[in-house]
Amino acid sequence: MESKEPEPSFSSPSLYSSRWWSKDTVAIVTGANKGIGLSMVKRFAELGVTVILTARDTERGLKAVESLMAQGLHVHFFRLDVSDPDSIKTFVSWFRLKFRALDILVNNAAVSFNELDENSVEHAETVIKTNFHGPKLLTEALLPLFRLSPSTSRILNITSRLGHFDKLRNTKIKSIISDEEKLSEEQIDNMVSLFLSNVKQGTWKSQGWPEIWTDYSVSKIALNAYSKLLAKQNQGCGLSVNCYCPGFTQTSMTRGRGTHTADDAAAIGAMLALLPPQELPTGKFYIAHSNLACSKL
């Protein structure tokens, strides 16, 4: 996801001066009972967006909603486990009944079972199912519901620099995934299937897969590739698709370690999701740095 466009200024006091949204603007944030997801829901609600907080655990999701209500913020809640196709179907059916259309989707839900200095692939299937297949299935189920208006609907996939294509050491796979002109959904799915096959065969260490948090990295490479493909397929159709790496953020996944807080990361994420229509790109990969500057890779 390359770009020669100027990067947005995230330090400007008039960050939200070009307000295009209203209370009729509807956003969905997955995996939002804590961390960056919860912080993004809070930011959207503070800015007057109608936002749906989703979480796979109903009790934790409702507690998150209560915490926001205590701050005077109103949000909607519905249980959603993106790793479960049936849960996705139930959620989308509920959404159809409750709302007219969707404007913003933030695919934030993700898992990793490794400590920061570990690299096990014991839970590779669950990681791939949650971090790649889940967001893909949810996105495809919601595509017909996006409000394709002059303000442009938006998908923001929360990803990681570990999912940058350069992390692939297998030159053949890297070449296929990096070929923007020829990239297909089938090729992305084949890459993921090959990785899971290598894991089952015990050969994954010698096949050129990323060396750090391998299963998580592969899941994010697949998500980034799918985002690029989806952006291309919807070019000029009123739907923007971008990726955002929040950087080394203090969340449960990092065991509380990091250079900045979830609120800091979410502030940039919300900005990217709410860029003015005339400044909104598609097919880009943004990354937040330790000084909270944001750039495109």
pLDDT tens readout for residues 50-77: 999 999 999 999 999 999 999 999 999 9
Q: Please tell me the predicted confidence (pLDDT) of residue 23.
A: 96
Apex 130 CA angle, 124 and 136, nearest 5: 120
Q: How far is CA 241 from CA 5, 51, 99, 199, 228, in A?
A: 16, 19, 21, 30, 8
**Which pLDDT band holds residue 197 (cuts at 50, 70, 90)?**
very high
Nearest to 110 by CA among 90, 136, 86: 136
Q: What is the pLDDT of residue 90?
A: 98
Rounded Cα gap, residues 242 and 275, in angstroms: 12
Mean model confidence pLDDT for the chain: 91
Which two tokens mark 231? 């952006």
Q: What is the domain partition of the chain in residue ranges?
A: 26-163+214-296
d(CA 158, CA 223): 9
Lowest mean pLDDT among 93-102, 149-158, 205-214: 149-158
Query: Is residue 201 over pLDDT 60?
Result: yes
Which three-class secondary structure state does DSSP give residue 81? coil
Spatial separation of the C-alpha atoms in residues 68 and 15, rounded to whole Å = 23
**Residue 182 is which amino acid?**
K
d(CA 294, CA 158): 14
User: What whole-number distance in Å separates Cα of residue 30 and Cα of residue 149?
Assistant: 23
**In the prediction, which pLDDT does 292 show?**
52
> Catalytic site residues?
216
Pick the CATH number of 26-163+214-296 from 3.40.50.2000, 3.30.470.30, 3.40.190.10, 3.40.50.720: 3.40.50.720
d(CA 205, CA 218): 13
Strand 249-250 relative to strand 260-261, pairing: parallel
